[in-house]
A and B are shown apart, each in its own frame.
Chain A
Amino acid sequence: MSVHRTRWLLEKELRELAASRSYWLLLLVIGALVGHQFMTATSIYTEASGAGGGPAALSQGLSPLEGIVVPTLGAYDIAATLLFPFVVIRLIANEKQTGALALTLQSPLPFAATMAAKLLALLAAWLVAGLAGAIALVTWRGVGGHLYGPETMTVVLGHVLRGLLTIGVSAAAAALATSAASAAIVALTVTLGTWALDYVAAARGGVIASVAAYTPSAALRVFEHGELRVATLLILVTLGVGGLVVATVWLREGEQVSRRVRDVVFALVAIVALCIAFARVRDSRDVSEDRRNSFPGADEAALRTIDAPLHVTVYLAAEDPRLVDLERGVLAKLRRTMNEVDVTYAARGRSGLFERPDQHYGEIWYQLGDRREMTRSTTDEIVLETIYRLAGRAAPSAANEKPYPGYPVTARMTAVPWIFFLAWPLVVMVTWWLGRRRGVSRRRID
């Protein structure tokens, strides 16, 4: 009986979504966004492959992940920021404004079941919007383009989680705010806040940088780099579901306000505690075909045999681009590979007017046991040599490593504008029109 009733709840949410103009607008716009991104990406990619008659780039540099998949699906980041929040807010704020909430709260199922139905319906809506991206990728394969399944699916997973995060934040905003307009302002303010956090973190480092690693943009970047990082995945799920929990708690209008405030605070504390705990999870997998997040296999095997903890002291400020190179090209890989890596960021910011120059600035110290060595290099080859010297062993041979071949594509995709700027909007508008037409045609039939 419960399953039967849950089906009705889910159908209600899906029907409400189908009646939402903001969702149809999202579908309409996402086609154009994906189409534009895809056309730009393929144009640059085929140009680099030598399609225009110019010199082709080295094929190893032609990766469909960063050349096609990431920019094309990047349209969904824009949609999740500027369009999808309104779809979520409408679904919840409408329920409050029309009074439907009073009836929903009296449903025989727990109110959490109603909110779970909303979550499932919204995720389904987000996946339907994902069809435009799927069409782009199928088109790419159709002209002979290469896609590596694990890395492509990881980027897709990143966008699904990005959608979940939007659902959580927007649902909480819609529940807490008094109107849909106020909720939209709150949701956009949260987004702007995360952008500001990204900006500040780029110059400050420290705790702010640790927090900023989980802003929507930063978290999505992890998946876009072909890395399946468990901490990022768990934190995005926690924030998304946590937002729904906050909304569920606050919408129980029959409870005293003081109790609802207490429960919301408790939920927020639990969300923060879980995020802090999950941030300590180090497990991750490099699913990129070119293993961009890993050292060569022989080096990884050698590094795993080093039991002593590696201490790294970095004298580079957060805003220094060399630190970005070091983080992405060396430290992130070391953390994924070695048993224990402890990094100390010893330099303060250099952007302040009254900062004094540090004589150690630019140095990076590596310590294994009681042996220490300094290098200023941020390239992985030099750093690995340093670590092997400290460990007292020779660098392994890389003879068996298979280089990434690269996948140049020179085919032209003339049908793309027709698909995304004509067929897609036509299908969306006709589907919307047919949906609107049902009901009306049956008015007042005896």
Chain B
Amino acid sequence: MSAPPPDAAPDISLPALNRPVDVRVEGLSKRYGPFWALRDASFDVHAGEILGLIGPNGSGKTTLFRSVAGLAPATSGAVRHAGEVIAPKHRKHFLYFVPDGIRPWPDQTVDWVLRFTAGLHGATVQARDEIVESLGLASLLGARLRELSKGEHRRVMLAVGLLTPQPLLMLDEPFDGLDLRQTRDVMSVLTAHARSGVGRTLFLSIHQLGDAARICDRLVLLSEGRVAGEGTLNELRARANLGEAHSLEDVFLALT
């Protein structure tokens, strides 16, 4: 059975916010002229989990994220919740996506960008202060975004994502530009964010396989636009006929 075209999606009632949700990505394909950036990608995102999307450069991770978020039109495929298709224009009520490599509002201060995001998305002052504290942004509040280093900017964009209320948060390369200590700190923050309170589903695109193995509950392996495997690290090892001593790198090389 082929997946329905994305624009033919019927509207559905939106899930209650602040509640983790199950999402199914089904048969997502994206073509640029003769080149297929994504081919029939299907996988599940379970409520409350941290799901990692891993793959080499050019494997289609960003295209997949943009298509799932409804920011780029897919050639075919659908995103479903409870069996119902979520139309691209309604996905922003369901999930929030922080792309990699963006440098928005360069002339505004960190403080204002976080107040703006919190105000627009209805986050409380307390939530904002907690996120500022946990990501070590207090000393940067007065700085303009254009003045920040790559790692500092990355943490501000993470804060922007954490301030939004959608049940599913998608982060493209959240550890890119961070040093070892910062990466570990941010991992703690993300894990706490996913596990605390009602919890939140995190879907992370991660280039470094070691980082992915440390933080993710489950993994989706993407290679040349196709899903090469999906599951926990142990499930993937079993699928690749590899023992527990093998790392995610070995698994990835075996499956792709």
SS class, residues of chain B in contact with chain A: mixed
B106 and A444: CB pair below 8 A? no
Distance to closest chain A CB from B133 (angstroms)? 12
A441 interface residue, CB < 8 Å from B?
yes
B233 CB to closest chain A CB (Å) equals 31
Residues of B within 8 A of A12 (CB): 105, 116
Within 8 Å CB of A5, what residues of B?
119-120, 122
Q: Are A254 and B70 in contact (CB under 8 A)?
A: yes
Q: Is A356 an interface residue (CB 8 A)?
A: no
Count residues on chain A whose CB falls below 8 Å from chain B CBs.
Answer: 37
**Are A99 and B102 within 8 A (Cβ)?**
yes
Known: A105-B92, A442-B109. A98 touches B102 (CB 8 A): yes
In the complex, are the beta carbons of A440 and B121 less than 8 A apart?
no
Complex formed: what's the CA distance from A31 to B217 in Å?
Answer: 62
Chain B residues positioned under 8 Å from A440 (CB to CB): 142-144, 147
* Closest Cβ–Cβ distance, residue A264 to chain B (whole Å): 15
Q: Using known A-B contacts A5-B120, A8-B116, A108-B92, determine if residue A98 contacts B73 with beta carbons closer than 8 Å.
A: no
Cβ of A257 < 8 Å from any Cβ of B? yes
Central interface residue in B70, B120, B138, B164, by most chain A CB within 10 Å = B120
Would you give the 0/1 interface string for A1-34, flagging 1 where the beta carbon is closer than 8 Å to chain B? 1001100110110011001000000000000000
Q: Please tell me if A255 contacts chain B, counting CB pairs below 8 Å.
A: yes
B246 at the interface (CB under 8 A from A): no
How far is B88's CA from A95's CA once the two chains are assembled, in angstroms?
21
Does B195 count as interface, using CB distance less than 8 angstroms? no
Complex-state Cα separation, A445 to B103, whole angstroms: 23
Given A99-B104, A439-B109, A443-B147, A4 and B119 contact (CB-CB distance below 8 Å): yes
Contact status B73-A100, CB under 8 Å: no
Residue of A nearest to B93 (CB): A108
Tell me which of B71, B93, B120, B140 contacts A444 (CB under 8 A).
B140
Interface residues of B in 99-127 (CB under 8 A from A): 99, 101-109, 111-112, 116, 119-122
Whole-angstrom distance between the alpha carbons of A416 and B191 in the complex? 65
A414 adjacent to chain B (CB < 8 Å): no
A439 contact from B72, B97, B104, B144, Cβ within 8 A: B144
Determine if A257 and B73 form an interchain contact, defined as CB atoms under 8 angstroms apart: yes
- Tell me whether A256 and B7 are in contact (CB under 8 A): yes
Q: What string of 1s and 0s marks CB contacts (under 8 Å) between B64-75 and chain A?
A: 001001111100
Determine the distance from Cα of A103 to Cα of B71 in the docked complex, in whole angstroms: 10
Whose C-beta in chain A lies nearest to the C-beta of B148? A443
A106 touches B106 (CB 8 A): no
Give A98 to B144 CA distance when docked, in angstroms: 14
Give B78 Cβ to nearest chain A Cβ, in Å: 14
A253 at interface by CB-CB < 8 Å: yes
Q: How far is the CA of A414 from the CA of B119 in the complex (A)?
A: 50
- Most chain-A CB neighbours within 10 Å: which of B93, B138, B144? B144
**How far, in Å, is B201 (CB) from chain A's closest CB?**
16
In the assembly, what is the distance between CA of A253 and CA of B71, in Å? 6
Please report which residues of chain A, range 253-267, place their CB below 8 angstroms from some CB of chain B when the two chains form the complex. Answer: 253-257, 259
Starting from the known contacts A16-B107, A439-B144, 6 additional A-B residue pairs (CB-CB under 8 Å) come to A100-B104, A107-B120, A440-B143, A441-B142, A443-B143, A444-B143
Across the A-B interface, the 10 shortest Cβ-Cβ residue pairs: A442-B142, A99-B102, A100-B104, A19-B107, A443-B143, A254-B70, A106-B92, A256-B73, A8-B119, A439-B109
Footprint of A on B, CB under 8 Å?
7, 66, 69-73, 88-89, 92-93, 96-99, 101-109, 111-112, 116, 119-122, 138-144, 147, 160, 164
